[in-house]
Structure 1
């Protein structure tokens, strides 16, 4: 009777998981077969089966093309700066919010912080385009304080910092929820013992909270590094214009412009394979390094 009950529970769990498995199979694994067009001169009307095979032609062109190297440089800068400044932000915010003892204020602050996550980039971009324009509120304030107006939207030197900062502002509250959930799972007896020993709030955070969050930090960091060359296409595309294209064109906007709008499907598929290989190499290599140094890894 007990064994039969276990088998029934297993079938129920399998049925619950079935929609998720079907989603990954249909939308993630089956489309991988389409990567074959990176080795073809794909013709939309001839299809995959009848398009001409060209081998590694598109990969060779990719590395010989000067515009590709510029896009690679911009994507690396965007990804590295996003990790450097964007990854620690939700962790620090969660640690600070965890120190708030007034429950109502804590819940209200948390809600306000993750509210921007639910706004689309069209809305966010529209708001900040108005705020940062030549006659926008920010430049009016600068002029009132005696400074000169700044072309935030058309000056290349401001583009990267502006887009990354807006991305952090929009998503930091949502990412913070993972760390707050992990903090709630820490044994409160550890904090009580530390208080008895006279540990300050800072010492408690440094010696108890952070070490307890280390597994979550490592997993999230490795997953983030795996998407080093990825960028939110809406985030960048909304602020991208010909005046800042030299510093703002990343792989996602480049694939959109050249592949979708220009019809170079094989070339942009080769770029996608290149991005995926870089991500796999980074995750596998850094996962091994993390397992040897910290004992934590994603597999």
Structure 2
């Protein structure tokens, strides 16, 4: 206890800097967690959260036995897994490519172009997607030249995942590469010079010097990404939904919104959201365990 107090006194300025983030986390992340209990109650406005009747796992069973459970769950899982599989390597590749640019002026301009999409609103991104992929949009005009008929990208369920993932990679890959660029900045240039003198080509230097340097960062980012594998953003999926692509675009977050806010079945939607969170926690623990085994004990915790 004395050591803890001594540490606080010595580093009191750092603790003051951390205080706002800690307080906001407690207020907006931990305090609202008491509301999760409505997933186990038949929530009623008149009775309130504590006065509502307990129903146990009624709403969890209702969701697991629902006829659309498998479709919604698999849509969420597939969209997450495909997004992780195709989206995770792209920032790493971008960072390795940026690291090879020696002219600082060119490098900064390229970084600016790569980072810029991250600051575009999701609403604007989806609007751009609809414009570019509309039957009369520029993409379909090129397709018309070769096939003679347009493709309904936003109406065909088969294209939803591809459009969602590709647009997401375009928007976030550049910004996500920052952490790898920062890690590569710590590589001693003498290592590359020595490897070049020894006859190593570019790919060999990347494999033997750059990748081992960012390996711990890659492991942590992968664990965090896999831990949130079911936590797909609601906004983009909801905005991209149409009546025709629902078979592949209906995922857990959009379903929770429709059941909870539009239909007013708050207990049922809370049960679905809690189920989703439990799956995320289980995946986080499993992935961290596997990565620690493969990465010589280095993991998130």
TM-score, normalising length from structure 2? 0.94
Matched residues, number: 296
Structure 1 match to 2:285: 284
Structure 1 match to 2:189: 188
Structure 2 match to 1:116: 117
| 1:189 Cα deviation after fit | 2.9
In structure 2, stretches of 5+ residues that fail to align are: none
| 1:188 Cα deviation after fit | 2.6
Structure 2 match to 1:169: 170
Do the aligned partners of residues 197 and 132 (structure 1) sit closer, same or farther apart at CA in structure 2, a change above 3 Å counting? same
Are the counterparts in 1 of residues 220 and 300 from structure 2 also a CA contact under 8 Å?
A: yes
Structure 1 match to 2:217: 216
| 1:253 Cα deviation after fit | 0.9
| 1:128 Cα deviation after fit | 1.8
SS of equivalent residue, structure 2 residue 153 = coil
CA deviation string 1:98-144 (max 9, x = no partner): 11222211110111011010011111111221111111111112213
Deviates more, 1:187-196 or 1:30-39: 187-196
Structure 2 match to 1:240: 241
Are the counterparts in 1 of residues 192 and 209 from structure 2 also a CA contact under 8 Å?
A: yes
TM-score, normalising length from structure 1? 0.95
CA deviation string 1:48-102 (max 9, x = no partner): 1111110110111111002122110100100000001011111111111211222
SS of equivalent residue, structure 1 residue 52 = strand
| 1:145 Cα deviation after fit | 3.4
Are the counterparts in 1 of residues 227 and 287 from structure 2 also a CA contact under 8 Å?
A: no
RMSD of aligned Cα (Å):
1.6
| 1:5 Cα deviation after fit | 9.6
Structure 2 match to 1:160: 161
In structure 1, stretches of 5+ residues that fail to align are: none
| 1:190 Cα deviation after fit | 2.1
Alignment of 1:1-299 (within 5 A): 8-295=9-296, 296-299=298-301
Do the aligned partners of residues 5 and 41 (structure 1) sit closer, same or farther apart at CA in structure 2, a change above 3 Å counting? closer
